[in-house]
Amino acid sequence: MCRPEHFDVTYAINPWMDPSMPVDTALAVAQWETLRSTYESLGHQVDLIRPVEGLPDMVYAANGGVVFDGKAIAASFTFAERQPEGAAYHAWFDEAGFRPTIQAGAQNEGEGDFLVVGRLILAGTGFRTSVAAHHEVREFFGAPVISLELVDPRFYHLDTAMAALDDRTIAYYPPAFSGASNAVLRQLFPDAIIATDADASVLGLNAVSDGHNVVLTDRAVALHERLRERGFNPVGVDLSELLKGGGSVKCCTLEVRA
């Protein structure tokens, strides 16, 4: 995770961002601290990357790369505003001892667009991460990668429209995906939880699950109920300031799979 000391909305690279809206950085830090202590109280270890001044989106650590089987690929960002983050995350992976650690050659926004479900990697494209990056990730990790086309600009990263809940269960919002991708998802995940418009529009799917506890925004009321029905334990947090940048729980969290 990356403490949002320098968080602000000074440019707009997704439809959630409005630079004319004031941001309360101290409140963002306080909300983020609650998320961090939520993970720790659930028994998870949280490692931190040093925030860099002038990189207001660096709090969205999910975008820093993908770590799988002890190997790491650092992001190659779409927009100039975020490009310097790639090198910072690359250095972090390298220092943490992931071997090999490489920098993505193709446009790749890390776990924003790559969700690990068991041994399968689901991959989004359409707004940020390229199909070339899906191939690169498959070759690097030697794991199957399923390409999914995102079609609604509000759901510009895969993790805004889908959550990985355990090794075989996902939740997603069908209108965010193309017709063909919906057909693929129905075939692969017939038991998936389907999110409502209301859940999706508060980024309720931008969640982190350890297979039982699912940390997500407290605003996604119906999704909390559906998770409970399926035996998961939803844990609600308020990340309203971070939503102004177009992110919620998952965006703030890069999962490190050693």
Binding residues (CB under 6 A) for ligand ARG: these are: 13-14, 17, 57, 60, 62-63, 82, 112, 157, 159-160, 245-247, 251
Any long-range contacts for 99-103 (C-beta under 8 Å, 24+ apart)?
Answer: 99/70, 99/71, 100/71, 100/72, 101/71, 101/72, 101/73, 101/74, 102/72, 102/73, 102/74, 102/140, 103/73, 103/74, 103/76
Nearer to ligand ARG, 66 or 227 (CB): 66
Q: Which residues are catalytic?
A: 157, 251
- Give me the least distance between CB of 190 and ligand ARG, in Å please: 26
Nearer to ligand ARG, 46 or 183 (CB): 46
- Give me the least distance between CB of 83 and ligand ARG, in Å please: 11
Distance from chain centroid for Cα 157: 8
CB atoms within 10 A of CB 26: 12
- Give me the least distance between CB of 231 and ligand ARG, in Å please: 26
Nearer to ligand ARG, 17 or 52 (CB): 17
| Joined tokens for residue 237 | 């947090």
